[in-house]
Amino acid sequence: MQKFILGKKNQITLLSAILIASGFISELVFHNEEIAIWSLVIASILGVAPIIIQAYQALKVKVVSIDVLVTIAVLGAFFIKNFEESAIVTFLFLFGAFLEQRTLNQTRSAIKELTEMAPESALKQMENGEFEEVEVDEVDVGDILLVKTGAKVPVDGTVLTGEGHINEASITGESLPVNKKKDSKVFAGTILENGTVQIIADRVGEDTTFGKIIELVEEAQDSKSEAERFIDRFSKYYTPAVLVLSAIVWLISRDIELAITILVLGCPGALVIGVPVSNVAGIGNGAKHGVLLKGSEVISDFSRLDTMVFDKTGTLTIGNPKVADKEIYGDTDKVDEVLAYLASVEKESDHPLANAVVEYIGDTKPYRVDKTDVVKGGGIVAEVDGHRVAVGNVALMEEENVQLNQKMRADIDKFEVNGNSLVLTAVDGELKVLMGIRDQIRPGVKEDLQRLKRLGVKNLVVLSGDNQGTVDLVARELGLTEAHGHMLPEDKQAYIKDLQDKGQIVAFVGDGVNDSPSLALAQIGIAMGSGTDVAIETSDVVLMNSNFSRLPHALGLTKATARNMRQNIIIAVGVVLVLLASVFFSEWMNMSIGMLVHEGSILAVILNGMRLIGYKLRY
């Protein structure tokens, strides 16, 4: 029965409105007081039924909720035969709850839109080679799928054949189509605007990037910030306090109507709903713009940010370095052989510098690589064709007792001044090759960093494992506050810990793979995501598709959300104080007016929170 009544709340609200209108028309137009009274009595009984059930359910778990206050107030008004007040109060309370739920659903529009974007079917290649339409749940990893113009990509995958332009707005927030061809990665939920491609499924279902985005946004919107937890604790004691105040007023004044009015006016509805609606709307806005905020707590810390620390490669730079300078030492007749050793060793690594070396050398004779030893922060030492080959930085060469003559050191200094990252190759203890590798700074990063400064970030710091000359060059070009090179992962952690010990709130921006310890230690870990699993798992904020330009939007959004929360708290507390004061210092306040203002304040904080859905950073 309880479930049935609660399921019919909207119909009860409508029927109450009709009965109240009938009651007033009967009295004012037809002067039939009996019908008017019965209409208001029935409206009161119908209206209070779901409220009593909610109050009972709250008391069962030892919570004195708003429903308890309203139930006592309505029953009191009914007891003193003030049927107009009891009917109007129940209707306004139910109608307010209806509007509240309706507007709250709109603030969760990000989830709704994302869910609607989820692909439902796919064209799967069957055993006979033909493509047939199947439910997306029937697609397994390794299946070959056909995607036609205008269709949604059903899974995360890799293009096998074909070419086309894909709108990746659901993943990155950017509506500009991206060209895809053989070996390009594609994501579920994106739309092929033109062309036809065949893809092989890499990740399906909830494991896709799109599925994880939906899961993360849902979890974030359901999480509670410190402000929400405080308000929950406050409401726990505040509501019983209103009951006690009402009882004291009745004992002193013996005016039960005044006591009942205090119960209605003291309802903390706007206070309870104001902060969550701001958080939900803010997180939803971020999801639509390629920024994943993983929980309400992130918003609080991010909005008070002092210092932002950046990794260099793949964050401030594109992460696709190229060999810019090269020097050969020793016997030039064996250059090709040494380069072949170098390429064979670097193929063992997925580091961006290693990829640049392999790309530069190109096709060469492959050698078997044995006894590979990865030296953290140094490079790789391995046995190739009976030779000990060391590939890495100057520190690794010193550790391997490689002698560097005056010319070699001069070349190293020159390469560093030019902003190169260094890759030195030694064979059997002798330096053979010195390569200088440069990465391009991301387009627009300098302007984005200026926006961060205007948003109140005091310190912009770059930490990198590269040499100090390279890091200084990047810092000067971008106008950073500090630059530190030769930083191992533990050095970066120690630097961040030192900043935190000084009372600073620190955000670390990295690629989510090599910098996961720093991402975890900083109050706000921000991953340049590219939709990778590691980035999504290890950080507090993910910038989808490694879109650095989303970082100022993310910071501006969290500041706007925190500001919006404060506004809602002020509105909620202010309205309650004004209403309670008006009971004692005015003659016009009654239960109906109080409930109307009370519901109006709830709608005010909800509508204020909903402004965040359309937030855009003003540059």
pLDDT tens, 33-58? 889 999 999 999 999 999 899 888 88
pTM value is 0.68
Could you tell me which residues come within 8 angstroms of residue 427 by beta carbon, excluding any fewer than 6 positions away?
338, 341, 387, 388, 389
Q: 3-state class of 223 per DSSP? A: coil
What's the token pair of residue 194?
């033109």
Instruction: Please report the pLDDT score of residue 213 as a whole number.
Output: 65
Residue intervals in the chain for CATH 3.40.50.1000: 291-318+441-546
Does CATH place domain 120-154+156-203 in 2.70.150.10? yes
What does the alpha-carbon distance between residue 6 and residue 244 come to, in Å, rounded to a whole number? 29
CATH 3.40.50.1000 fits 291-318+441-546, yes or no: yes
Point out the catalytic residue in the list 67, 143, 301, 311: 311
How big is the CA angle at 72 (ends 267 and 76), to the nearest 5 degrees? Answer: 120
pLDDT in tens, 162-184: 998 888 766 655 556 788 889 88
The candidate with the shortest Cα–Cα distance to 478, out of 447, 511, 438, is 447
pLDDT tens track for 218-229: 665 555 556 666
Residues 6 or more apart in contact with residue 237 via CB below 8 angstroms: none
Range of lowest pLDDT (196-200, 385-389, 516-520) = 516-520
CA 269/CA 70 separation, integer angstroms: 11
Nearest to 310 by CA among 454, 473, 522: 522
Q: What is the pLDDT of residues 415-473, one digit of tens each?
A: 888 878 889 999 999 999 999 988 888 889 999 999 999 999 999 999 987 778 888 88
CA 195 to the chain's CA centroid: 32
Mind giving me the DSSP string for 96-144?
HHHHHHHHHHHHTHHHHHHHHHS--EEEEE-TTS-EEEEEGGG--TT-E
Among the listed residues 468, 467, 541, 97, the one whose alpha carbon sits nearest the alpha carbon of residue 305: 541
pLDDT for 583 beyond 60: yes
Q: Tell me the average pLDDT of the chain.
A: 84
Q: Delimit the CATH 2.70.150.10 region(s) of the chain.
A: 120-154+156-203
Burial of 88 (0-12, 13-18, 19+ CB in 10 A): buried
CATH superfamily of the domain spanning 322-438: Calcium-transporting ATPase, cytoplasmic domain N (3.40.1110.10)
Q: For residue 472, indicate whether it is catalytic.
A: no
Domain with CATH 3.40.1110.10 in the chain: 322-438
- Would you say the C-alpha torsion 239, 243, 248, 253 has a positive or negative sign? positive
Side-chain half-sphere of 267: how many Cα atoms within 13 Å? 30
Task: Let me know: does 220 contact 276? Beta carbons within 8 Å.
Answer: no
